[in-house]
Amino acid sequence: MPIVRKEQKVDNWSVLIRGAQGKAGNIFGNTGNFIDQTNVPDVKIEKMAIAPGLVRGLFGGKRDFLVISETGNSNLAPYQMFIGARDYGDNLDVSWYLTYRIGYGEKAWASLLKIPILNILLLPFALMRGFGRLAKVKKVGFELDLFDEQDLRAYATNVHHCLLQAVDKLMLELNQDPSKIDRKSRGFLGIS
């Protein structure tokens, strides 16, 4: 069971669709189909139950999300998008979160690299082993070069647009005006 902590979120977007209770499957299915139709290479889509923490997850605090990963650029491996759709009364709460999550091995290396004397001793070995991005982990985690940021923006924007397309489709089926929803994300990328 994957855990997503609040400090891992770097961007997000959400909308509440009136009268759309029970339509989460439409959002998940249509978003996945629209992503597939864009023919973007190296994108992996999985449906998973996610928890905000270990204790809450053990006691049943899980929700279904589509987890989208960009697998073609290794520098973007820590970035994943989580799309959620859940009933909220008679409504459907739809959202996505862009997260920055590194693996346990990288976390251990990053912790060791924070110790000044170990930083000097271990950094050459970390670089030789392909852990170059660990030096960046010490500084917030999202320092990307121009090409990596361009790839991240394209990946996140494509997913965002596919989700918006699924939301638009559902709202039109419910005779609602999708042009009134806020389409801009709230975070480090500011996608619209």
> Is residue 185 included in any domain, yes or no?
no
Distance, CA of 115 to CA of 124 (rounded, Å): 14
> Is residue 21 included in any domain, yes or no?
yes
> Is residue 111 included in any domain, yes or no?
no
Number of domains in the chain: 1
- Taking the chain (192 residues) in runs of 10, the rounded mean pLDDT of each run is 66 94 96 95 91 67 90 87 95 93 60 61 59 43 75 93 96 94 85 82
> Is residue 47 included in any domain, yes or no?
yes
> Is residue 82 included in any domain, yes or no?
yes
Tell me the CATH number at 56: 3.30.310
Distance, CA of 66 to CA of 24 (rounded, Å): 11
> Is residue 33 included in any domain, yes or no?
yes
Distance, CA of 61 to CA of 52 (rounded, Å): 8
Retrieve residue 41's tokens.
């290479």
At 165 the pLDDT is: 97
> Is residue 123 included in any domain, yes or no?
no
pTM of the full structure: 0.77
At 76 the pLDDT is: 86
Domain that holds residue 156: 6-102+144-180
CB-based contact 15:94 (threshold 8 Å): yes
Distance, CA of 27 to CA of 120 (rounded, Å): 49
> Is residue 17 included in any domain, yes or no?
yes
Q: What is the dihedral of CA 38, 97, 170, 28, to 10 degrees?
A: 70
